[in-house]
Amino acid sequence: MLNLKTPEALKAFVQDPYPALSFLREQRMIKSPNGDWLIARDADVDFVLRDPRFGKQPLPGTEHRLPAYAQNLSDRDSMLDIDPPDHTRIRSRFVKAFSARRVEGMRPSILGLVDSLLDEIIPRGHMEAMRDFARPIPSTIIADMLGVPEADRPRFNEVSMGLIEGLGVDPATTLKERNARSDVLREEFSDYLSALFAEKRAKPQDDLISALLHKNEVEEALSEEELIINILLLFVAGHETTVNLIGNSIIALARHPEELQKLRETPALMPKAVEEFLRYDSSVQQLPRVAQADVELAGQTILAGEMVILLLASANRDEAVYQDPDVLDIERRIKRVKSFGGGAHYCLGAQLAKIETEIALGRLIERVPMFSVENLDSLNYPFNLFFRGPERLDMAWCA
């Protein structure tokens, strides 16, 4: 039985979750000590993602079956945490900004940003890649999309990182302490956005916030609270996921030099390689769902109101789907990876994250073909069961 109750066991798991996930796949699904169901196999994860009997909120009268840590689910209003029809109403306002055509059209600006970062970094001969390279790319792109003034962006990044830390399970802090810290950050973010909304209403610009405010005047309005919490979601989730995808991809290549050499020789493999990076070491490790009816799965009955945890990283390494799943193979034929979820809640920014990573890695390999990761054998991962990425990544090369 997987038990993460001790700090030592928890630390071992976040450093390398894959042996434990392999064990969980053998069990198929188990009920954890928290009272939630852990779903480990690709077919079962896919089943839950597609089945309308699983949602984000418990139906009235079934809330008592949620694990204690999730008892505040009904207080959440972001499109990540709600079900149709409200989910559909809110998501429809944002989906156009992430259309395939619009995201593809962002390639030149992403390329320009990546090259400007490398222009500054390369002469130094070294970088802490998470801070200097992986983080600025998605944070700049999403801030540009939203219309956040440049002077405010460093604080936005700090808030994003703080909220991600609040989702962690660091045994040095209590859940109450983490929630209190997150509440302070959310309140700060809310006050800032309310002031920014007033500026955008007075002087609209060509950005997503201005467009959302304009739509509120001509269509059924979203409340200011709905706008704020979903803009926060876009910034934090869209930002952090890509940061870790870039970092995890660099680590995977450093540990598999033969795959790195393939990309040096054949850069056109990069889009396929990004799919493999997503599969091999997912930046989003798991997602929750709540049963809204009694459901039979793998010979077990999941009762209405019970939570299931979809172990995306486990599904991505399922031996029933992928041959030698613990091996990185950038030419692998990929079934649709689970890293961005699925169904109605499939990640809005999935294509943008892939393109950002594709360009970031492609230009890094082209312009810094011979690099090393100096702390490859001493990487440290935060206490977070949902997001996976190293705390720092020290890289060096001959300038």
- Residue 4 predicted with pLDDT over 80: no
Report pLDDT digits (tens) over 231-274. 888 888 778 899 999 999 999 999 999 999 999 999 999 999 99
Q: Which residue has the tokens 């001493």?
A: 378
What the block records as the tokens of 151 is 């002077």
- Counting residues of the chain whose pLDDT is more than 70, the rounded percentage is 96
* Mean per-residue pLDDT of the chain: 91
* Entry pTM: 0.93
Phi, psi torsion values for 171, nearest 5 degrees: -65, -10
Whole-number pLDDT of residue 23? 95
The set of residues, in sequence order, having a beta carbon less than 8 Å from that of 387 and lying 6+ positions away, is: 164, 167, 240, 241, 244, 283, 284, 285
- Residue 162 predicted with pLDDT over 60: yes
Whole-number pLDDT of residue 72? 64
Q: For 332-350, what is the mean pLDDT?
A: 89
- Counting residues of the chain whose pLDDT is more than 90, the rounded percentage is 65
Whole-number pLDDT of residue 73? 54
Whole-number pLDDT of residue 7? 85
CA dist 391 and 130 (Å) reads 7
Whole-number pLDDT of residue 2? 64
CA dist 164 and 328 (Å) reads 28
Whole-number pLDDT of residue 76? 59
CA dist 79 and 87 (Å) reads 5
Between these two residues, 311 and 180, which has the higher pLDDT value?
311
- Residue 167 predicted with pLDDT over 80: no
Q: For 178-192, what is the mean pLDDT?
A: 87
Between these two residues, 263 and 222, which has the higher pLDDT value?
263
> How many residues are present in the chain?
399
The set of residues, in sequence order, having a beta carbon less than 8 Å from that of 207 and lying 6+ positions away, is: 144, 145, 146, 147, 200
Q: For 352-373, what is the mean pLDDT?
A: 96
Q: Which residue has the tokens 């799943």?
A: 325
- Residue 1 predicted with pLDDT over 70: no
Report pLDDT digits (tens) over 32-71. 988 999 999 999 999 999 999 999 999 999 999 998 887 6
CA dist 182 and 291 (Å) reads 27
Q: For 161-180, what is the mean pLDDT?
A: 81
- Residue 84 predicted with pLDDT over 60: yes
What is the residue-wise DSSP string for 304-325? TT-EEEE-HHHHTT-TTTSSST
